[in-house]
Structure 1
Amino acid sequence: MSQDERIRRWTLALGVEESESERSALSASDLRMAQALSALYGDGEDGGKKGSGGLGASAPRVARWLGDIREFFPTPVVQVIQKDAFERKGLRQMLLEPEFLATVEADVSLVADLVALRSVMPEKTKETARIVIAKVVAELMERLERRTGDAIRGALDRSRRTNRPRFADIDWPRTIRANLRHYQAEHGTIVPERMVGFLRQQRRIADLDEVVLCVDQSGSMATSVVYASIFAAVMASLPVVATKLVCFDTAIVDLTEELADPVEVLFGVQLGGGTDINRAVAYCEERIERPAKSHLVLITDLYEGGDAAALLDRLARLVLSGVNVIVLLALTDSGRPSYDPALSAKVAALDIPVFACTPDEFPDLMGTALRREDIHSWAADRDIRLIRPDG
């Protein structure tokens, strides 16, 4: 790296003062980048050094600033800077303005913000918010749908094979091994003469495993709610498992009937409020008809505002009846939860796996759960920290 480039980078990192020497080291584009960053991270009440302008409280000004940020940085960085702007400059109120909302770089955190603000949005803003949410949902569905489907396709009878499988049922490792003699060196590929796959097992609805996602919709769980809703919609589209989605704070919202439209599901979520986990688990318990075929995934930080003792008794009863109970303290990209350590340890003492999970890990988790394999071993193999009964 040249000395000039080193000076340029340090100048951008530390902020641009008024001296001619510092400004001469930067191009016009660099100066715009510096001003955009200084407006948020610089000193001063209005967010910047002299001449930086700051973000102010004007939606057009913020929209222009967002445009500059998007010009200079890739999308993941824009999302981080944007989140800082909402927190440091109190810009969340601007999400109620459709003109501003249309310029924002959308991600899961923004969707959570929009869901939380839904009740105070004007109607014209709700339509823009729906478009923004739909865009993020479509991107998440594209990212997660295939892996989730592959992981939980429990309708495949893997003990029986066929040489005429459907594409989705091809056993690729066995197919490749069976056709190695047909390797075409000049093309660097194998031409398979015989496909090996799984026979699809015809199952009645009454035979399907049932998955209940019971999700804490208190404000601290906002991102987990978004991801859980997406996964519930994906799983509901698979004919091999019966899926229910129940969201709760002190009230309970059963969104199972809305799962065909994940955007509508998110608009049915009511983020914020207190937490009554016991009441929500009781609701799910009443609707479990075949415990040995049921899987309850409770997504909560376990900060119980209701009856913690009753909750522990209820979870113990579910486990004893044969329900496969899993507690996720968070379903987020970071996989780093904030949770009640005392209650978490007591739940873990019931031999219930308690841990946090990322969206990329969730499909494999569900596949493991549906096969009734040991979740503790699955988590340990992936260096996922499980809550211990002794805390």
Structure 2
Amino acid sequence: MATIEQDTKLVKDQDLTGHKDRRWRLVLGADSEESNNLSDADRRLSYALTALYGGEELRKGRGSLSRSAPKVSKWLGDIREFFPSSVVQVVQRDAFERLGLKEMLMEPEFLSAIEADVHLVADLVSLRSVMPDKTIETARQVINKVVAELMARLEQKTAESIRGAINKSKRTFRPRFNDIDWHRTIQSNLRHYQVEQQTIVPEKLIGFMRQQRRIVDLDEVILCVDQSGSMATSVVYSSIFAAVMASIPAIKTKLVCFDTAVIDMTDDLEDPVNVLFGVQLGGGTDINQAVAYCEEKIERPSKTHLILITDLYEGGDEQALKARVANLVRQDVNVITLLALSDDGKPSYDRELASDFAAIGSPVFACTPDQFPDLMATALKREDVLSWAADQDIKTIRASE
């Protein structure tokens, strides 16, 4: 177990303060009377250290990974932000042992009893870098099970909602099964009702004609996802949705994840588990750099939908970011900013920058995974996203806020 002296050394090593009184307040912790003078950053740092070395905040019962416990992934993100990589590795490894994750992941009973929980996936991905090889394989099995259950819940609705290759203004009598207009088909075949079988045997099918679209005409969706610790569950859901959309021939899908670096995960979209093992949750944030990367990939602005998923806490050049987004909007890129893609409730975000984005012309709000397919369908049809959000009772950010 680490001591207060070790905690103090960590603070000194990072050169967080040149003043003894500030160091002393950090050592005492964010819950002490001396915490009133701590900045927001110092308070987060103090909580991060206390959670592992002093309090019970991360441990609601040994090895607990329940949703009632504070998110391990968020805690790890704070650690990565405040300390150099050498210190982060030590603290993470200590957390891995103290939280009892290794023992739990090695038990078959744990795998069979685990419930689909996106927070669990985020926590395991966060701890991936300090897991032994044998434990990583077990963790992959857990993540695969959770992702499979989430895919089963979200895949069908997503595919049905955003399959933009169907043109409902034209009819055909030789439709594919998924394109049958059952109401018109039944109405047209009522005279073929079979009394004994109590069913209709349709003589002809009526359905929607698929619009033949060339590859060059396909809409392109770029999911640009902030992988800082606070966005952990959004990263998981984004990876799943990106994998689903990549399987739909009507659109081209790219997945770009970022913190202070940018990683393009598009080539791995066939396997969302591999995508998750390729991200690094936590650390700083450079949104401008990520948007710049996406901008370089845009060939036909009027056919491109950039879904920027971030809490807008920018660690890079904020003015350059706003100018870049404004330029994309002027080029007719459909830029939508999601403050979160999760079921976690009201997200934390940079209110000033969110208001600036809204003024630029990028709709800004948070949405749940169940709402996301309809959002994408609305975006792909170039319909009013803000009106859609209002119909969904989603609070959007206004330019004046």
**TM-score scaled by structure 2?**
0.73
Of 102, 123, 129, the residue aligned with 1:113 is: 123
Question: Is residue 110 of structure 2 the alignment partner of residue 103 of structure 1?
Answer: yes
Instruction: Give the percent of matched residue pairs that are identical in Structure 1 and Structure 2.
Output: 65
Q: Judge conservation of contact 1:165–1:199 (CA < 8 Å) in 2.
A: yes
Q: For structure 2, which runs of at least 5 residues remain unmatched after alignment? A: 1-54, 74-94
Q: Distance in 2 between matches of 1:251 and 1:370?
A: 29
Q: List per-residue Cα deviations over 1:218-246 (Å, max 9, x = no partner).
A: 00000000000000000001111100000
Q: State the match for 2:312 in structure 1.
A: 302
Residue 359 to residue 189, structure 1, CA distance change in 2 (3 Å): farther
Name the structure 1 match of 2:169: 159
Distance 1:152 1:85, change over 3 A: closer
Alpha-carbon contact 1:95-1:101 (below 8 Å) kept: no
Q: Give me the whole-angstrom Cα distance separating, in 2, the residues matched to 1:157 and 1:380.
A: 26
1:283 has 2:293 as partner: yes
Q: Deviations over 1:48-85 (max 9, x none)?
A: xxxxxx9875x7xx8xxxxxxxxxxxxxxx9545x469
**1:137-190 CA distance string (max 9 Å, x none):** 111111111111111111112221112211111233443454566677998866
Residues 1:179 and 1:387: Cα distance change in structure 2 (over 3 Å)? farther
What CA distance in whole angstroms lies between the structure 1 residues aligned with 2:344 and 2:190? 41
Correspondent of 1:366 among 370, 376, 393:
376
Name 1:29's counterpart in structure 2. none
Q: Residue type of the partner of 1:351?
A: G
C-alpha distance in structure 2 between counterparts of 1:190 and 1:326, whole Å: 46
Which one-letter code corresponds to 2:137 in the other structure?
A: E
CA-to-partner distance for each residue in 1:293-344, whole Å, 9 max, x for gaps? 1000000001111111111111110011011110000000245211111110
Q: Comparing 381-390 with 172-181, which one deviates more in the overlay?
A: 172-181
* Cα distance change, pair 124–188 in 1 and its aligned pair in 2 (3 A): same
**Secondary structure of the residue that 2:134 maps to in structure 1?**
helix
CA contact (8 A) 1:335 1:357 kept: no
1:198 equivalent among 197, 208, 214: 208
**CA shift for structure 1 position 46:** 9.5
Shift of 1:195: 2.5
Equivalents in 2 of 1:342, 1:168: separation in Å? 45
Aligned residue in 1 for 2:90? none
1:258, distance to aligned residue in structure 2 (A):
0.4
Higher relative contact order (CA 8 A, sep 6+): 2
1:311 aligned to 2:321? Answer: yes
Counterpart in the other structure of 1:256: 266
Distance between the aligned counterparts of 1:243 and 1:226, measured in 2?
Answer: 16
Equivalent AA in structure 1 for residue 333 of structure 2: V
Q: 2:220 aligns with which of 210, 214, 237?
A: 210
Residues 253/55 of structure 1: CA separation in 2 closer, same or farther (3 Å cut): closer
Cα drift, residue 86 of structure 1: 7.3
Matched with 1:93 is 99
Instruction: State how far apart, in whole Å, the 2-side matches of 1:379 and 1:85 are.
Output: 28
2:245 is the alignment partner of 1:235 = yes
Change beyond 3 A, Cα 1:183–1:349: farther
Q: Letter of the aligned partner of 2:393 in structure 1? A: D
Indicate if the aligned counterparts of 2:220 and 2:303 stay in contact, CA closer than 8 A: yes
Contact 1:102 1:132 in 2 (8 A): no
| Cα distance in 2 between the residues matched to 1:266 and 1:205 | 28
User: Is this contact kept in 1: 2:72–2:123, CA < 8 A?
Assistant: no
Query: Equivalent residue for 1:36?
Result: none
SS in 1 for 2:99: helix
Q: Distance in 1 between matches of 2:306 and 2:108?
A: 37
Q: Which residue of 2 aligns with 1:26?
A: none
Give the AA of the match of 2:349. Answer: Y
CA distance in 2, matches of 1:183, 1:333: 46
CA contact (8 A) 2:71 2:123 kept: no
Amino acid at match of 1:325: V
SS of aligned partner of 2:110: coil
Q: Counterpart amino acid of 2:342?
A: T
TM-score by length of 1: 0.75
Please name the residue that 2:86 is paired with. Answer: none
Find the counterpart in structure 1 of residue 391 from structure 2. 381
Residue 140 of structure 2 corresponds to residue 134 of structure 1: no
In structure 2, what residue type is equivalent to 1:93? L
In 2, are the aligned partners of 1:101 and 1:129 still within 8 Å (CA)?
A: no
Q: Name the aligned partner's letter for residue 338 of structure 2.
A: L
Q: Which amino acid aligns with 1:275?
A: T
Deviations 1:28-59 (A, max 9, x none): xxxxxxxxxxxxxxxxx999xxxxxx9875x7
- For residues 181 and 84 of structure 1, what CA distance do their matches in structure 2 show? 62
Considering only aligned residues, what root-mean-square deviation do their CA atoms show, in Å?
A: 2.9
